[in-house]
Amino acid sequence: MKVLKKTLMLAAIGGSLFATAASAEQVNLTWQMWTGSDADTKSWQHLADMVTAKYPDIKVTLTTTGWVDYWTRLPVLAASGQLADIVSMQSLRMPNFYSLLEPLNDRIAADKFDVGAFTPSIIGGMSVDKQLYGLPYDVGPWVIYYNQDALEAAGVPLPKPGWTLAEFTDAAKKLTKDGKYGFGITPQNYSVLASAWGDKYVNDSGVLDLTNPSAIAAAETVIGFAAKDKIAPLVPSGADVGNVVQGRFYSGNVAMYVDGPWSIIGMKDKVKFKVGSTTLPRGEGELTAVTAGSGFGIATTSQNKDAAWKAIQVLTSPEALAFLAEGGRALPARTASQSSWYKVAAKDITNGGEAIDYSLTHSVPYVITNNWAAVENLFNQYFPPAFAGSADAKQTMDAIQSLAQQ
Amino acid sequence: MRQLSPWQELPLMEEDMSQSAVAELPLQPVQSRRFLKPETQTAMLFLLPSFLGFMIFMALPILASLGLSFTNWQLISTPSFVGFQNYIKLFTVDPAFYTILRNTLFFAVEYLALNIAVSLTLAVWISSLKRGKAIFRVIFFLPTFTPTIAASVVWLLIFTPDGLADAVIRALGLGLPNFLLNPTWAMQAIILVTLWANVGYNVVMFNAALDLVPKHYLEAATIDGANAWQQFWRIRLPLISPTVFFATVMTAITSLQVFDEIFAMTRGGPGSATATLGFAIYQKGFTNFQMGYASALAWVMFVMIMALTILQFHMQRKWVHYDD
């Protein structure tokens, strides 16, 4: 009896020791991500589960927030020391928040991780001073979406990738009639279009330079769409101007507008016309299309950086990106995975794949300053009166330049 | 001989009674003095959660913001002390500050005047009704239930270029520009929406005060030949002046803090036509991550509100009548 008791006791002690050792090896990671719908959240949860499937000792707990709230919460969480281990980051926000993330160059070199498998422009977008701070999962060049029915009715030939600014303006003029507009524009489109035309609004030292002749020339063209050519409707400087313009496109009120491939997934269900896509119009030279995208970094405050590095490699693996692409969720940042997105998301969009392809082969990193959010706010405030004709391009750019430096 | 009113005689009687009572009562054994009476202790206990909430969520952040206003804290970096640099920059360098200040005061003055005038007019009209008082109170009070951001988004769609407001303006042949694109008219749109959203609160309050005006005062005035305007100006308005004063102070404070309508409808634009202190604090703090600078702005707003409130309390002696 005594022997049995001792055996059971030893077994119990051994079992508990084993359990303790096992739980000590278990790594619990947190991951903060934005989401737009339940379907989105399920996709991210699936990716979190993929990490555990590959590394059973790593468990990833996902927390999600809406897109707008995410960027308000992120600095607040950082300031209060509550950042997750894995932080999702958009390339346009990287200059503001890269200090929250662990530099990855040393890990990439040590593991011989193949950065060359990703579209170069998004690697540039996720980098600051040639140091990579996050692995990207998607990439997207801004393109023009058009109402194919409206173009055909107006006798406008469907635009080919690489079309010129003159061809674009001519098409938009023909499409502007009966209270409808050829083009829907937002103040934030300025930098995307200026980049496409090769105009510089940031100097070679990375400083905002909106008052140089090139930047002002681009502003004149953008403002001229509404103020001079009258091919674009006026927009207020209120919240979500992009959504207002998108809504006018969906309702058939404007025939063309600028957006990224991330909008395709919701577009086809909301319009009653055939949608087509082409590149942004180019200026004198070749198109230089800027791209944006998002990815995952490791918080500098994380206690489990090695595990987080393993996890973000899974989150951006070919399998994970293929899963997102097949759901139409994101155009994969990995070049080899992009074809699956074309087959699913772009299949009903006329020339959708070609527009993206052409733009990606002509893509450049989106040059922005570290106070870009403030600059975009000023675009939002100061372009609408210029669209309405109460200020010219130079006055507008002078005002924005002056206020952005405060 | 001076006549005493019954009210003036009462304290003397109480004093006499208490003196005689002390003289006649036998001495009681001395009881141990307690720090607080039991009922005070109970009251303190019930007030404690509220007090703690105030300390943690109001007093501490207010003090913290004062401290932060002397730093260059950018939210994701460690703050460092910069002395009065933020305040100096505000008053001497920032080209937008005086525009923001002017916009804030312009909004506050026009909105306050319109709110009091409109709510008083509506309250007098409702109190003159023989039927349907409750219905109209509810109608005017309803917008105050609506979340301001949601209401502002709807108004944004109404005022957006080629929207409903433009169609109405065109149909009436008014020849006005689009409100949200014109720097002169944009603030009027904000004032209109804020008025629509908040005027009901003062309407209900004034209406209640008007209903409490003793009827016999008005009947006596009618017998003396006073017309409706004289009755309002000489009797009703002085009698409800404490309520009007309260409403004026509260409305002035909230108008200096206006944010929701601007955030949703104009984001400070067009240009900087509707940028006010409340919006600038948000923009500097949560968009530009200049928390130290935003805190300095918040303290400028605090000083403005305090100064205006003190001025109002000082001025009340000239027009507020308390029935002492």
**Residues B163-216: pLDDT tens digits?**
899 999 999 998 899 999 998 999 999 999 999 999 999 999 999 999 999 999
pLDDT of residue B241: 93
Q: Output b/e per residue, B212-244; b: 16+ Cβ within 10 A.
A: ebeeeebeebeeeebeeeebbeebbbbbbbebb
d(CA A365, CA A94): 12
Structure tokens at A300: 């500098």
The answer to which of B24-33, B37-46, B117-126, B142-151 has the lowest mean pLDDT is B24-33
d(CA B194, CA B192): 6
d(CA B172, CA A344): 51
Higher-confidence residue of A22 and B149: namely: B149
Q: How many angstroms from the chain centroid is the CA of residue B163?
A: 32
pLDDT of residue A271: 92
pLDDT of residue A371: 85
pLDDT of residue A318: 94
The ipTM value here is: 0.80
Question: By CB neighbour count within 10 A (0-12 exposed, 13-18 middle, 19+ buried), where does A293 fall?
Answer: buried
The answer to whether A327 touches A109, Cβ cutoff 8 Å, is no
What is the average per-residue pLDDT within B107-120?
96
B287/A373 touch (CB, cutoff 8 Å), yes or no: yes
Contact residues on chain B for A97, CB-CB shorter than 8 A: 76
**Gyration radius of chain A over CA positions:** 24
Matching residue, tokens 């997207």: A140
Higher-confidence residue of B32 and A300: namely: A300
d(CA A324, CA A315): 10
The answer to whether A153 touches A178, Cβ cutoff 8 Å, is no
Structure tokens at B72: 């260059």
The answer to whether B284 touches B294, Cβ cutoff 8 Å, is yes
The answer to whether A331 touches A347, Cβ cutoff 8 Å, is no
For residue B107, give every residue at least 6 positions away whose Cβ sits within 8 Å of its Cβ, in sequence order, or none. Answer: B187, B190, B191, B255, B258, B276
The answer to whether B121 touches B195, Cβ cutoff 8 Å, is no
**Out of B89, B264, B275, whose CB is closest to A239?**
B264
Q: Does B160 touch chain A (CB under 8 A)?
A: yes
A384/B265 touch (CB, cutoff 8 Å), yes or no: no
pLDDT of residue B21: 45
pLDDT of residue A344: 81
Per-residue pLDDT of B219-278, as tens digits, reads 999 998 989 899 999 999 999 999 999 999 999 999 999 999 999 999 998 999 999 999
Structure tokens at B222: 């009618």
Matching residue, tokens 């600038």: B280
CA-based torsion, B65, B68, B70, B76: positive or negative: negative
d(CA B259, CA B104): 10
The answer to whether B136 touches B194, Cβ cutoff 8 Å, is no
d(CA A90, CA A312): 15
In degrees and rounded to multiples of 5, residue A294 shows phi and psi of -140, 165
pLDDT of residue A9: 55
Residue type, position A138, single letter: D
Distances (CA, A) of B224 to B216, B219, B230, B231, B234: 12, 9, 11, 11, 13
B181/A388 touch (CB, cutoff 8 Å), yes or no: yes
pLDDT of residue A39: 82
With 80 as the cut, is the pLDDT of residue B31 above it? no
pLDDT of residue B26: 53
For residue A306, give every residue at least 6 positions away whose Cβ sits within 8 Å of its Cβ, in sequence order, or none. Answer: none
**Out of B153, B161, B288, whose CB is closest to A235?**
B161
d(CA B256, CA A147): 46
pLDDT of residue B69: 95
Q: Does A34 touch chain B (CB under 8 A)?
A: no
With 90 as the cut, is the pLDDT of residue B75 above it? no
The answer to which of A4-8, B65-69, B77-81, B207-211 has the lowest mean pLDDT is A4-8
Structure tokens at A405: 């430096």
Q: How many CB atoms lie within 10 A of CB B321?
A: 13
With 50 as the cut, is the pLDDT of residue B7 above it? no
Distance from CA of A404 to the nearest CA of B (A): 10
Q: If we measure between CA atoms, which residue out of A336, A335, A293, A297 comes closest to residue A107?
A: A297
B178/A388 touch (CB, cutoff 8 Å), yes or no: yes
Q: Point out the residues of chain A with pLDDT beneath 70.
A: 1-24, 239
Could you tell me the pTM of the whole model? 0.82
d(CA A178, CA A181): 8
Helix (H) or strand (E) holding A132, with range, is: strand A131-132
In degrees and rounded to multiples of 5, residue A333 shows phi and psi of -70, -20
d(CA B261, CA B274): 10
Contact residues on chain A for B275, CB-CB shorter than 8 A: 381
Q: Does B288 touch chain A (CB under 8 A)?
A: yes
Q: If we measure between CA atoms, which residue out of B253, B99, B273 comes closest to residue B188?
A: B273
What is the average per-residue pLDDT within B283-311?
92
pLDDT of residue A67: 84
Q: What is the DSSP letter of B55?
A: I
A 363-402 residues with CB < 8 A to B: 371, 373-374, 377, 380-382, 384-385, 387-388, 390-391, 399, 402
Question: By CB neighbour count within 10 A (0-12 exposed, 13-18 middle, 19+ buried), where does B106 fall?
Answer: middle
In chain A, the residue whose alpha carbon lies closest to the alpha carbon of B293 is A406
Q: If we measure between CA atoms, which residue out of A55, A60, A112, A132 comes closest to residue A297?
A: A132
**Banded pLDDT at B29 (limits 50, 70, 90):** low
